[in-house]
């Protein structure tokens, strides 16, 4: 029962104020007296700041050259008053410059730490961390869009040549797959559409990548209750390919058969003239088994790309993130954009930078029984071609 109005409240004894945590000695200043050295030393005295983040590569997952390029893209937006400019300050009242803001936003994306934890690192309110991150996301969406695009004819020729050289698949233009981005159940309390087959709340990302694991086409925002085939059919990629606007180039195999440009995908996708899936079943003939072997190797490109994406951008890796359904796709998009920028600036990721294994832990393989007759013939022609070439 609520207390009677006017009743004298008993005074609670004051709790002793805990003594502040002792500040640890500052770690040695990293080599060089550049911006990162000053940035690190400013925040490293905080006892909660991870000590392993002594180099820019260790936390931002990119070189200083790439970081500087990203700063140049967003500088105007992060400093202009027409873009809602605010003087964000560290705990020591120092105003954050462009590099500081970009570093704070990237640390939110790469570490996946909560806004509260990152705010503690920098002596800032969690709302300021959120504002800085979102301003960075909005700016990158506009300024870096050129880094995520469908290949030009010249680029496509290079991609096809590499797929054929590495995997023995002629006229192959990319690999496609999907992955689930987990969401807390509290993110969408009024709808079960986000509940996927594994009883998890998730959003699906569909991606097409090239041999360098560069993202060439992505679709995100669809709820986890939709299967891979459904998401494909709702995408712009599907419409463009079905109309022959994309993946319409033909090449003639030595035996005289014509093969359309195509991408490779796993058994969750329908077999289409522009989308080659593996043969299903056991004890396959030699030609079909060899095709499946090469097909599997080629599709590992997109599987590794998605695993590495989640490994690099931990904000989309686990259920800590509590997004709304409108902002999360934009964050996923920018994570893919920056991944492409890193590849454009630094080249194909080294083996040390890649994350292998299953990018969708806990999810079962989906299967589609849809097969276009012309696509089935093309797949047979390809299987005979790869066997004859041995």
Q: Is 271 exposed, middle or buried (0-12, 13-18, 19+ CB in 10 A)?
A: buried
Q: Domain residues of the chain, as ranges?
A: 35-143, 148-388
Under the banding of pLDDT at 50, 70 and 90, the label for residue 384 is very high
Is residue 291 scored above 90 in pLDDT?
yes
Least confident of 30-39, 173-182, 362-371: 30-39
What local confidence, expressed as pLDDT, does residue 26 receive? Answer: 42
Separation of alpha carbons 39 and 103, rounded Å: 9
- pLDDT for res 47: 57
35-143 fold: Cyclin A; domain 1 (1.10.472)
Q: What's the mean pLDDT when you consider all of the chain?
A: 86
Q: What mean pLDDT do residues 6-12 have?
A: 45
Residue 252 vs residues 160, 260, 337: alpha-carbon distances, Å: 14, 9, 35
pLDDT tens-place string over residues 220-260: 999 999 999 999 999 999 999 999 999 999 999 988 899 99
Going by C-alpha positions, the residue among 67, 3, 2, 64 that lies closest to residue 30 is 64
Q: How confident is the model at residue 367 (pLDDT cuts 50, 70, 90)?
A: very high
SS3 219: strand
């Amino acid at each position: 029962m609520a207390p009677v109005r006017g009743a004298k409240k008993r005074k609670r004894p004051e709790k002793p104020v805990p003594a502040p945590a002792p500040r640890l000695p500052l770690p040695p200043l990293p080599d060089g007296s550049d911006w990162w050295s000053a940035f690190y030393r400013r925040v490293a005295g905080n006892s909660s700041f991870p000590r392993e983040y002594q180099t820019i590569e260790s936390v931002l997952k990119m070189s200083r050259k790439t970081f500087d390029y990203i700063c140049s893209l967003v500088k105007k937006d992060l400093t202009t008053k027409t873009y809602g400019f605010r003087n964000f300050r560290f705990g020591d009242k120092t105003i954050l410059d462009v590099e500081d803001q970009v570093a704070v936003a990237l640390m939110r994306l790469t570490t996946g730490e909560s806004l509260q934890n990152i705010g503690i690192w920098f002596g800032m309110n969690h709302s300021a961390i959120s504002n800085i991150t979102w301003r960075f996301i909005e700016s990158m969406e506009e300024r870096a869009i050129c880094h995520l695009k469908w290949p030009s004819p010249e680029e496509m020729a290079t991609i096809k040549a590499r797929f054929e050289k590495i995997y023995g698949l002629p006229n192959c233009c990319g690999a496609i797959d999907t992955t689930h981005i987990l969401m807390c159940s509290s993110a969408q309390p009024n709808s079960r559409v986000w509940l996927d087959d594994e009883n998890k709340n998730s959003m699906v990302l569909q991606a097409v990548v090239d041999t360098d694991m560069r993202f060439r086409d992505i679709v995100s925002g669809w709820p986890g209750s939709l299967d891979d085939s459904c998401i494909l059919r709702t995408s712009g990629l599907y419409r463009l390919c079905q109309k022959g606007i994309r993946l319409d180039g033909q090449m003639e195999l030595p035996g005289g058969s014509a093969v359309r440009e195509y991408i490779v995908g796993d058994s969750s996708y329908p077999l289409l003239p522009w989308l080659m899936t593996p043969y299903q079943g056991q004890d396959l003939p030699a030609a079909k088994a060899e095709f499946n072997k090469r097909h599997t190797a080629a599709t590992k490109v997109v599987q590794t790309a998605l695993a590495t994406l989640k490994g690099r951008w931990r904000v989309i890796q686990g259920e800590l993130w509590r997004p709304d359904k409108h902002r999360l796709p934009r964050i996923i998009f920018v994570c893919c954009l920056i991944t492409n920028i890193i590849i454009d600036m630094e080249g194909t990721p080294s083996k040390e930078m890649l994350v292998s294994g299953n990018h969708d832990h806990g999810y079962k393989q989906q299967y589609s029984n849809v097969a276009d007759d012309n696509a089935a013939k093309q797949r047979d022609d390809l299987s005979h071609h790869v066997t004859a070439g041995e």
